[in-house]
Amino acid sequence: MPQQPHILLIHSDQHRYDCLGVNGHPLLQTPVLDRLASEGVNFTHAFTPIPLCVPARNCLLHSQWATEHLCIANYDTEAPRPPPETLPSFSAVLRQNGYRLGYVGKWHVSRSRTPADYGFDTFVDENEYGKWRSAQGLPPIPHLNGWFGETDAAITPDQSGLAWGADRTIRLIENAGTDPRPFFIRWDPSEPHLPNVVPEPYASMYPPAAIPPWPSFPDPLDGKPYIQRQQRRTWKLDAWTWKDWAPIVGRYLGVISLMDAQIGRILACLDRLGIADNTLVVYTTDHGDMCGGHGMIDKHFVMYDDVVRVPLILRWPGRIEPGTVCRDFVSHALDLATTFCRAAGVESPSTFRGGDLLSLLNGTAEPRCDIFSTYHGNQFGLYSQRMVRDRDWKYVWNATAEDELYDLSADPAERHNRAADPICLPPLRQLRGRLLAWMEQTKDPLLNPWTRGQLAP
């Protein structure tokens, strides 16, 4: 077997695709991730299989859709169901094939099972940061502004939770250097998930007056499911203007720049140890964040690109051509699990649904013609959605509400629902048929004689 590479996965929480310099944000400074893309490949059409934290992380571990592993919502909901303990994970496969595994940060996979149950040798829980902060004589993280964030005036950037997590990740990499086994090390910071409590200078790096509104703002939500307006009302956002949103977005951008700087320290560690050339580095996230897009917050009850489209960057010197831009559709969590196995030179389990991104890049895998995502509800109740999109159109089937259809060529911000427009009947029928075939293929439990009639011609 050829030498197995080290693998470093940096997997953040709720990072919008459009919030990277390399992905076109007009203000945001992300020089490290931009450089990583220039040294590897930037996937411009990566999508989450489900825009929700716990299910998405289970999709990544098991390379299955949520409708297959059946973890469809977070812990604190009506549907807290873990995947079967016998279901294979990529981490256990790597452990069985000679890898040493380390994990730093947010677990958010299972209440009953720990990273050790999935093959990880070492786990550093991000909840330890609060204890470290107290030991340094620092006050607790402030939460005076609730979910909308604020400045953390008591600390410097190198005392932040992001710096703390990067320090522990670097320590794992350094310790792995004394072990003959290749390593798989994963850092899962909670950032940039709101609330963003940010130290200076990052808290003020992006002045609110300079931040342009998202292309989807404002959105009157005309002809769209009632629950979207209800989401605004629940959060008391229905009367907000961009002036209300801009400070929150500024802190969101600031914490991304802080995270970018900490990622730079980790990559510098690989260089210092002389192992960068034999390390597959991956940066991605679980899903995006509305953060004011369509006038909404968080990620619930919607399938807009704000939450389903994600950043995905890979670097592997000698194996991935620097500066590659891949526009093929990627189901990032499912495909990464398979890719990690293939990079390690081992077969992925037969239960895995993802494709190998390395084969996609070298032209030996057939690209997808469309991409899917699902949602099942969370803290505001159960609510079933299925999404399919191709290059030109996105269709969202809301099982108990209005369908959504967006002409992505003319309306990339997804402001105008065309599902009831007779002119759009051909793409609507085509995407409904494609969604029905995919639900049959994946044995989606929502598909039954009653729901089939909503999708079948």
Domain presence at residue 168: yes
Domain presence at residue 225: yes
Among 13-27, 376-390, 398-412, the least confident range: 376-390
Res. 453: pLDDT tops 70: yes
| Total of domains in the chain | 1
Element (H, E) at 68: helix 66-69
Dmax over Cα atoms in the chain, in whole Å?
A: 66
Q: Which residues, in sequence order, are bridge partners of residue 52?
A: none
CB within 8 A of 334, min separation 6: which ones? Answer: 49, 59, 60, 63, 64, 65, 352, 353, 354, 355
Residue range of the domain that includes 291: 6-369
Res. 177: pLDDT tops 90: no
Res. 1: pLDDT tops 70: no
Q: What CATH number did the domain enclosing 75 receive?
A: 3.40.720.10
Domain presence at residue 450: no
Domain presence at residue 408: no
Domain presence at residue 191: yes
User: What is the mean pLDDT of the segment spanning 418-427?
Assistant: 98
Report CA 419 to chain centroid distance, whole Å.
Answer: 27
- When pLDDT is cut at 50, 70 and 90, the band that residue 2 belongs to is low
352: left (phi over 0), alpha (psi -120 to 50) or beta: beta
Domain presence at residue 395: no
pLDDT digits (tens, 9 = 90+) for 377-404: 997 889 999 999 999 999 999 999 999 9
pLDDT digits (tens, 9 = 90+) for 29-49: 999 999 999 999 999 999 999
337: left (phi over 0), alpha (psi -120 to 50) or beta: alpha
Domain presence at residue 214: yes
Question: Please, what is the average pLDDT of the chain?
Answer: 96
For the chain, give the percent of residues with pLDDT over 90: 94
Domain presence at residue 380: no
Radius of gyration of the chain (CA): 21
CB within 8 A of 279, min separation 6: which ones? Answer: 5, 6, 7, 8, 270, 316
- When pLDDT is cut at 50, 70 and 90, the band that residue 79 belongs to is confident
Q: What is the pTM of this model?
A: 0.97
Among 78-87, 212-221, 423-432, 444-453, the least confident range: 78-87
Nearest alpha-carbon partner for 187 in 269, 248, 254:
269
Which tokens hold the place of 387? 């999404």
